[in-house]
Structure 1
Amino acid sequence: MVLENSGGGFGIFAKRPAGYRHGAARINQRSCSLFMNTSRVLEFINGFRNSIAYLTSLIIAVYVIVGVAAVTLDVKKLPGVLDVLDFDQPDTARTLLATLMAGMISLLVFSFSTVMSVLTQAGSNFSNKLVFGIMTEKRHQQVLGHYLGTILYLLILLLVPAVGDTPDTWRSLAVYLGSAMVINSLAMFVFFIHGTSQSVQINAITQNLLVSTQLSLDRLRKRQASDEYIHQTGEIDLRDGYPVHSRNSGYIQSVNFDALASLARRHDIAIHIGFSFGDFVVKNFPILTVEADSAPGDALIEAILACLQYVEGESTRDHYVNGLTQLMEVAIKALSPGINDPGTARLCIHQMTELMAQRLTLTPCNRRVDDNGRCLISWHEEGIESLMFRIFDPILHYGGEDLSICLSLLKALKTLSNFATAADQRVIQAHADRVIALMAEHFTAPLEIDFIEARLAGGIHRLHLASRLSSRSTST
């Protein structure tokens, strides 16, 4: 018996009896429901793994298991040489444990109050979006897990009293192990403070943004190398199809392309994404269009929506544009009158130049097709013209009266011109003309003009730049 793919996958060939049609519809509906439930479970697991609680919980669980083993196991056969470690006084072990636990709580409070103070200062100087990313780093999760795990281990030893007047050798070893855990926490405290202080330096922040954005660009590059992904010019008319409305609000950074393609093949449909990745989507907004012979059922719609990946805030690893815009925001924050740090802005421009040079060498795919070339999924990829305007125009707006910023932007555009196609070249040329026109407007002193003209046409580039600022100003 062969199911028909047309009509959203809920019909059969016309020659089949009606009972078979309803049976096929129920099978497809059950498969969609199973797929939707599986996607939700995987989405929850993936979200938990990416949260600050994942690694912390695993480390705490190890400490709790060791603590439970220390108070429940009754180990009698231990080497006699360990008897010298026994506690002679009944209250010595409990006093030591209580002291260690109080010290750990104080260390925990002091460590993270210091860290939050440093991160708050970094957020006010650079960007508040960076604070959450710093706190979710794995090394910070590891320190938090060891701190809390040590406290819980000591608490377990305090809650379960030792049998007899004095602790036996096994229980004494457990107390000494708690002391070793505290010493380990003290060592981690030193490295934690050092690592945190290093992570809020602007060089480390911009480097982390650069690396995470490069990972996103690498995924685009791998996707481009696959035959299943292609790039086609022209927009698809989203009115030709059945709209699908969002169930939740939030930022959609990406979708599960493999799962969506599987649904499109199974039901002989095409799914057209009407939003740009990274956009904030409100509830009950038409975000997708399903191109099919008949309206998709509720189970299929839920399965499609389960493939959308919502995240809190902006993820640079999922969407490279977020990395570029965050570098831009750090730059304009540094150019604010309260901070006035053009050096940080220039550093961000350098990192943006590196990322844009890699982006210019790519042609991001906007279609996924099957073996026969039929479109399964389509989506929108932001073009170079829009991207250049989004990341360079705000910096020019806030730093247009700073000569070092204008020259840094001009140098960045010169560098990017060596990687651009003919179409992108015109966009870069327009931005370079605007920077030069702005310099001609703001910097009119003879000394400034001589300084600018000495650097106008210098360097390796493919732009058409005048050698004199005065003639450039007249022409514009």
Structure 2
Amino acid sequence: MKYLLNRILSFLKTLQSKIAFYPSLFAILGFLLAFTMMYLEKRGVSKYLMDSFPSLVVNNGDTALTILSACITGLISMMVFSFSMVMVLLNQASTNYSPRLLPGLISDKRHQIILGTYLATILYCIFIAVSIQPSGEKYQVPGFAVLIGIIFTVICIWAFIYFIHNISQSIQINNILDGIYHTAKKRLNKLIESEKTEAEFPSTDNWIVYNTKKSGYFQNVSLNYLVDICEQHDTQLEIIPVKGIFVLEDTPVFRCRKELEESTVDQILSNFIFSRGELVEDNYVLAFKQITEIIVKAMSPGINDPGTALNGIDYLTELFGLRMQKNDESYIIRDNSAYLKLSAVSFDELLYNVMASIRTYCKHDIILVQKLGEMLIYLNNKPAQSDSYHNSVIEAAETLFNDAGRELINKTDRKVLEAYGEKFNLKLQIS
């Protein structure tokens, strides 16, 4: 039962990130509502309203058809325009910033719900229009259903205004960076909170290794179900791959303290969620990648936008400061017992990969080098979970200033670099 539930939850989580999920769901609701209103019309709901509130009910078939036709035509135009705006947003984000931003923008529930509202109203109005008999008696016109269609159309107009406002905000790089930052911050805080309990975990060098039966990006894993399996079989597991990496078929994915039956192995593997895309909600490291790619693209010769690069470094500074409060190794604990060991990208590796990408395009710009220097000074003075974190920061600073020194030949710029080097007690090789 848990296996089936886990598969369903995994499928729904993947499905929710698709741009057509909520529009399709709302379309089904609009279809069902139309037939519900047809049933109520047969029960005489319009006749009752016509007697009680005649001003609210359309009692002429031609008028009702005209109103519904106008609503359908207008809503289709709005929906086409809205979809076009979404495509423009995705194209601009991919071209100017980073293709990695697309999964997060596509999964924006606000856009999906608005588009779904349009689609549901269009389908509702179409089926209500089909049910109208213009030549019949007054009560045969679904007046109440037409009134509901008019109300839904007004709601769609309000949603369209909100959509224009929201899309104009979403396309701005400051809001994109802010959204990435807050999502990653929320994820990091959750991980840091879960590490407050100390855990003892044995060495896994001699444990039995099990391989995956599928390939894809390792997106997430159902930790609660794995802990349940560990309790049931009195064992412990180590998750080998790091979230976000591409796992090839028949490569190691977990180690176990004892040998397991094939059915149990299949049950454990079912809790690993693979996909062809990534989301920051599941993997905070992706936020570092996205912001780094935005900085690199902003400093490329084709775009040359140092202001965006400076903003990106500010967000990286805060995220790195938060990452320094997290251990490189994570454990899942239940009832004071550690059952799972999770692999994670170390702080040293994360900082090196980010700085290596940025140095290529920023080492020739003294303003950006200064900004990166301020970031490294801030990190070096910030308390950390391990002293090795500060050693990584000093090493990154030495590499940055030496590379910049080879690019910058102006004496004033070199003095600035030497001043930053003194703050780290470094003797730079830039002469």
TM-score (norm 2): 0.90
Match of 1:11 in 2: none
Cα offset, 1:53, TM superposition: 4.6
> After superposition, where does 1:52-63 map in structure 2 within 5 Å?
52-63=19-30
Cα offset, 1:320, TM superposition: 1.3
Classify 1:358/1:174 alpha carbon distance in 2 versus 1 (closer, same or farther; 3 Å).
same
Q: Secondary structure at the match of 1:276?
A: coil
From 337, 351, 354, the counterpart of 1:391: 354
Match of 1:323 in 2: 287
Residues 390-446 of structure 1: per-residue CA shift (max 9 Å, x gap): 111110122211112211111110010012443222211111112221232222223
From 413, 416, 440, the counterpart of 2:405: 440
Match of 1:305 in 2: 269
Match of 1:347 in 2: 311
* Matching residue's letter, 2:204: I
Q: Secondary structure at the match of 1:253?
A: strand
1:270–1:377 contact (8 Å) kept in structure 2: yes
Cα offset, 1:83, TM superposition: 2.7
Match of 2:208 in 1: 242
TM-score (norm 1): 0.82
Classify 1:86/1:204 alpha carbon distance in 2 versus 1 (closer, same or farther; 3 Å).
closer
1:423 matched to 2:388: yes
Classify 1:78/1:367 alpha carbon distance in 2 versus 1 (closer, same or farther; 3 Å).
closer
2:82–2:115 contact (8 Å) kept in structure 1: no
Cα RMSD of the aligned pairs, angstroms, is 2.6
> After superposition, where does 1:183-332 map in structure 2 within 5 Å?
183-226=154-197, 230=199, 236-237=204-205, 240-292=206-258, 295-332=259-296
1:353–1:416 contact (8 Å) kept in structure 2: yes
Q: Secondary structure at the match of 2:125?
A: helix
In the alignment, structure 2 segments of 5+ residues that lack a partner are none
CA distance in 2, matches of 1:207, 1:276: 25
Classify 1:389/1:235 alpha carbon distance in 2 versus 1 (closer, same or farther; 3 Å).
farther
Match of 1:409 in 2: 372
Q: Secondary structure at the match of 2:48?
A: coil
CA distance in 2, matches of 1:87, 1:441: 79
* Matching residue's letter, 2:373: L
Residues 293-331 of structure 1: per-residue CA shift (max 9 Å, x gap): xx4222101110111122442221111111111111111
* Matching residue's letter, 2:186: L
CA distance in 1, matches of 2:84, 2:200: 50
> After superposition, where does 1:22-61 map in structure 2 within 5 Å?
34-61=1-28
Match of 1:382 in 2: 345
1:98 matched to 2:62: no
1:335–1:399 contact (8 Å) kept in structure 2: yes
Classify 1:259/1:118 alpha carbon distance in 2 versus 1 (closer, same or farther; 3 Å).
closer
Residues 140-184 of structure 1: per-residue CA shift (max 9 Å, x gap): 122011100110111111222338525538722322332232232
From 75, 78, 93, the counterpart of 1:122: 93
2:237–2:341 contact (8 Å) kept in structure 1: yes
Cα offset, 1:355, TM superposition: 0.5
1:357–1:416 contact (8 Å) kept in structure 2: yes
CA distance in 1, matches of 2:132, 2:294: 55
Q: Secondary structure at the match of 1:309?
A: strand
Classify 1:445/1:242 alpha carbon distance in 2 versus 1 (closer, same or farther; 3 Å).
closer
Classify 1:67/1:370 alpha carbon distance in 2 versus 1 (closer, same or farther; 3 Å).
closer
> After superposition, where does 1:97-176 map in structure 2 within 5 Å?
97-162=68-133, 165-168=136-139, 171-176=142-147
Of the structure 1 ranges 263-272 and 121-130, higher mean CA displacement relative to structure 2 is found in 263-272
1:464 matched to 2:425: yes
Cα offset, 1:47, TM superposition: 3.2
From 161, 180, 184, the counterpart of 2:151: 180
Classify 1:121/1:51 alpha carbon distance in 2 versus 1 (closer, same or farther; 3 Å).
closer
2:61–2:133 contact (8 Å) kept in structure 1: no
Classify 1:307/1:315 alpha carbon distance in 2 versus 1 (closer, same or farther; 3 Å).
same
1:87–1:166 contact (8 Å) kept in structure 2: no
Of the structure 1 ranges 111-120 and 361-370, higher mean CA displacement relative to structure 2 is found in 361-370
2:59–2:143 contact (8 Å) kept in structure 1: no
CA distance in 2, matches of 1:372, 1:66: 51
Between the two proteins, the alignment pairs up a number of residues equal to 425
Identity of aligned residues (%): 28
